Structure 1
Amino acid sequence: MAVYPLPRWLLVVLLLPVPGQADEPLRCGVATGFPPFQYVLDGQPAGLDVAVIHALARELNHPVEIVQRPWEEVLRLLRKGEIECVAGMEVTEERSRYSRFTVPYYSRQAVIFVRADNAKVIDERSLEWSMVSGDHDSEIERRIQSSTGDGSHPRFFPVASKRDAMELLQRGLVEASIMPREVGFYLAAELGLKVRVVGRPGKASPVVIGVARDLPQLHLSIERGLVSLIERGEIKRLSKEAFLR
Structure 2
Amino acid sequence: MKTLLAKAIPVLAAICCCANLAKPGNAEVWVVGSMEGFAPFNYTVDGQYRGIDVQILNEAAEKINVELEHRPLPWNRALLDFNAGNLDAVFQLAPTRERFEKWNMVGPLRRTKTVYVTLIDSPIEDIRSLNELDGLIVGVVSGFTYEDSFDRHPDIAREMSKDDFTNILKLMLGRSDVIVGGRATLAHIIDDMGLTEKLRFLPTPLVEQERYIAFPRDGDGDDMANRLQGSLSAMHSSGRIREIVQEHFEE
For the aligned pair, the TM-score class normalised by the smaller chain equals 0.7 to 0.9
Deviations 1:172-202, CA, capped at 9 Å, x for gaps: 3322110011122111111111222226312
Instruction: Measure the CA separation in 1 of the matches of 2:245 and 2:117.
Output: 23
Q: In structure 2, what residue type is equivalent to 1:179?
A: G
Match of 1:4 in 2: none
Per residue, is there more strand in 1 or in 2?
2
Any unmatched runs of 5+ in structure 2?
1-25
Instruction: State the Cα RMSD in Å.
Output: 2.7
Taking a change above 3 Å as real, the CA distance of residues 205 and 144 of structure 1, as seen in their structure-2 partners, is same
Q: 2:226 aligns with which of 201, 211, 220?
A: 220
1:106 aligns with 2:143: no
Q: Is the 8 A contact 1:38 1:49 kept in 2?
A: yes
TM-score for both structures, normalised by structure 1:
0.77
Deviations 1:6-52, CA, capped at 9 Å, x for gaps: xxxxxxxxxxxxxxxx9541111111232211223334322211111
1:193 aligns with 2:195: yes
Deviations 1:53-92, CA, capped at 9 Å, x for gaps: 2112221122220111111221222212211112322221
3-state SS, counterpart of residue 205 of structure 2: coil
Taking a change above 3 Å as real, the CA distance of residues 44 and 160 of structure 1, as seen in their structure-2 partners, is farther
Instruction: Measure the CA separation in 2 of the matches of 1:137 and 1:69.
Output: 17
Instruction: Measure the CA separation in 2 of the matches of 1:219 and 1:145.
Output: 32
Instruction: Measure the CA separation in 2 of the matches of 1:137 and 1:224.
Output: 26
3-state SS, counterpart of residue 63 of structure 2: helix
Deviations 1:77-123, CA, capped at 9 Å, x for gaps: 221221111232222123234410123131112111012232x2223
Any unmatched runs of 5+ in structure 1?
1-21, 147-152
1:70 aligns with 2:78: no
What count of residue pairs does the alignment treat as equivalent? 218
Match of 1:117 in 2: 121
TM-score for both structures, normalised by structure 2:
0.76
* Higher CA-based Rg: 2
1:170 aligns with 2:172: yes
Q: Is the 8 A contact 2:115 2:207 kept in 1?
A: no
- Equivalent runs, 1:6-155 vs 2, <5 Å: 23-118=27-122, 120-124=123-127, 127-134=133-140, 138-139=146-147, 142=150, 154-155=156-157
Q: In structure 1, what residue type is equivalent to 2:233?
A: V
Taking a change above 3 Å as real, the CA distance of residues 193 and 127 of structure 1, as seen in their structure-2 partners, is farther
Instruction: Measure the CA separation in 1 of the matches of 2:117 and 2:152.
Output: 13
1:235 aligns with 2:241: yes
Q: In structure 1, what residue type is equivalent to 2:181?
A: M
Pick which of 90-99 and 122-131 moved more: 122-131
Q: 1:244 aligns with which of 220, 225, 250?
A: 250
Instruction: Measure the CA separation in 2 of the matches of 1:78 and 1:90.
Output: 16
3-state SS, counterpart of residue 172 of structure 1: coil
3-state SS, counterpart of residue 222 of structure 1: helix
Shift of 1:244: 3.0
3-state SS, counterpart of residue 25 of structure 1: strand
Match of 2:10 in 1: none
Shift of 1:159: 1.0
- Percent identity, aligned pairs only, is 21
Shift of 1:221: 0.8
